[in-house]
Amino acid sequence: MRPLLVLALLLWLAARFSNQALGPQIGVLAIEGVILDSESLLNKIKTLEEEERVSAVLVRINSPGGGAASSQEIFGALKRLGAKKPVYASVSSVAASGGYYVALSAKKIYANPASLMGSIGVILQSLNVSEAFGKLGLKMETIKAGKNKDIGNMFRPMSEEERQLLSGVLSDVHDQFIGAIVENRPLSEAEVRALADGRIFTGRQALEAKLIDGLLGFEEVVSLITAEVGLERAELYYPKDTKRDLMERLGLEEASHFLEGFKTQGLILLDPKLR
């Protein structure tokens, strides 16, 4: 057996058995950067749901936002998880737009006084380079079926009808965002709409506006959860992407193929969460 394969198997066994030795834990889901692809985070949420030793979940957010649909998917998955285990949110530097949308899934949201929050709005930008192309003697020819198929075409000015169509789409997504806040924060729709103009808030301003529940750092939130859930001590558990084999995450293709062959022959049965 090759040295890399032996090392990979030992690492997996060590991680598996060390986890079994632990008692109740607080699962930590880290959401970093722009939210574009939700699949990996959804897999981790599934792991947190299935892991019996996880008594509560802390979502650690440091994100300026991202795709509306991806943020909604993560929000929905965390809400479903929250029906089984308490979910808390802790904001690092920023939880704006989609980052704040995700935070709404928690029963309690905490941030630092200087954290940047909110940006409750939706934006779509389109670049118009038609004049520059005209000066160069260039022209883009477009063939389409459906008059709005090339809506947002950067090689021509946008028509008023197209602008209205896109505004309607953005307004609908904005209304969905506002609805999520109304359902999950102690605010009326009128109060939320007054705040939902795209502005950002510091953590201290967000607390005053009832967008969050308190001003605490990560370690303080961990201590709070430990007390509320009734744990003797804080043991943190960071889930991995359950749809990727550990060996693949380490970049060891040979080890991955080796284990796959064992699974095919029925010689070993890996934990379903590691498949």
Give the count of beta carbons closer than 10 Å to the beta carbon of residue 70.
21
Catalytic residue among 84, 107, 147, 149: 149
According to DSSP, the residues that pair with 62 across neighbouring strands are: 32
The three-point CA angle 211-183-179 to 5° equals 90
**Is 130 a known active-site residue?**
no
Catalytic residue among 38, 55, 92, 97: 97
CB 214 within 8 A of CB 110: yes
190: Cα separation from own chain's centroid = 27
The three-point CA angle 115-116-117 to 5° equals 115
**pTM here?**
0.78
List per-residue pLDDT tens for the chain, 275 residues long: 566 555 656 555 555 555 444 578 999 999 999 998 899 999 999 999 999 999 999 999 999 999 999 999 999 999 999 999 999 999 999 999 999 999 999 999 999 999 999 999 988 888 888 888 788 888 888 888 988 888 888 888 888 999 999 899 999 999 999 999 999 999 999 999 999 999 999 999 999 999 999 999 999 999 999 999 999 888 999 998 755 545 455 555 445 444 444 443 333 343 333 33
**Is 149 a known active-site residue?**
yes
Reported as a single tens digit per residue, the pLDDT across 30-55 is: 999 999 889 999 999 999 999 999 99
- Quick one: CA torsion of 175, 179, 182, 183, rounded to 10 degrees? -170
Q: In this structure, what token pair is assigned to residue 185?
A: 């924060």
Report the percent of the chain where pLDDT is more than 90.
61
CB 202 within 8 A of CB 113: yes
Reported as a single tens digit per residue, the pLDDT across 69-112 is: 999 999 999 999 999 999 999 999 999 999 999 999 999 999 99
Collapsing DSSP to helix, strand or coil, 186 comes out as coil
CB 120 within 8 A of CB 196: yes
Report the percent of the chain where pLDDT is more than 70.
80
